[in-house]
Amino acid sequence: MDQMVRPASVGRQENREPREGDPLRLWLRLFATANLVEAELARRLRAEFGTTLPRFDLMAQLAKADAPLALGEISRRLMVTNGNVTGLVDRLVEDGLVERRTAPDDRRSSVVSFTPAGRERFDEMAKAHRGWVSELFGGLGEAERADLSTLLSAARRSVQDNS
């Protein structure tokens, strides 16, 4: 999967530690927290199901779709290259979790969908994933989670408005 540039280098370039509430500090905390959550979910998926987070993410996109997805559409949704998706799909096909067929409207492209076994396996993983996320954020009370959700929504709008 494509890797993002680590934001910590930005803080070092300025030769100053950002103050509490500083937008740079907020970004660094958000990024660090997201990385911690992602790493723990990846660890648990590997330990419990022998799979990777990118494979889980691809399967989650298939689960959200109401029809088979073209490889290009999966790439767009995951924000990765077609080559990355092709490799993931190849391995999922080998494991009998998804199937690739020729697109009915374009013989040059392929669409991907779950096999029955793949759908069942994903449902198991998704249930565990939801539980793990709840556990990881279990140290926050209901009001704190609501506040955090509101603040993250506002932050997303700010980024979108300034992009």
Whether residue 38 lies inside any domain: the answer is yes
pLDDT of residue 109: 86
pLDDT of residue 4: 47
pLDDT of residue 2: 45
pLDDT of residue 150: 97
Whether residue 116 lies inside any domain: the answer is yes
Whether residue 13 lies inside any domain: the answer is yes
pLDDT of residue 17: 65
Angle at 103 between CA 100 and CA 104, to 5 degrees: 130
pLDDT of residue 103: 85
pLDDT of residue 36: 98
Whether residue 1 lies inside any domain: the answer is no
Domain range for 80 is 8-154
pLDDT of residue 62: 97
Q: Along the 163 residues of the chain, how does pLDDT read in single tens digits?
A: 444 445 555 545 555 666 778 999 999 999 999 999 999 999 999 999 999 999 999 999 999 998 999 999 999 999 999 889 999 999 999 999 999 999 888 888 899 999 999 999 999 999 999 999 999 999 999 999 999 999 999 999 999 999 9
Q: What is the CATH number of the domain that holds 20?
A: 1.10.10.10
The domain total for the chain is 1
Residue 146, amino acid: A
Whether residue 162 lies inside any domain: the answer is no
Whether residue 143 lies inside any domain: the answer is yes
Return d(Cα 66, Cα 47) in angstroms, integer.
30
pLDDT of residue 1: 45
Whether residue 85 lies inside any domain: the answer is yes
How many Å separate Cα 24 from the centre of its chain? Answer: 23
Whether residue 160 lies inside any domain: the answer is no
Closest CA relative to residue 1, chosen from 88, 96, 61, 118: 88
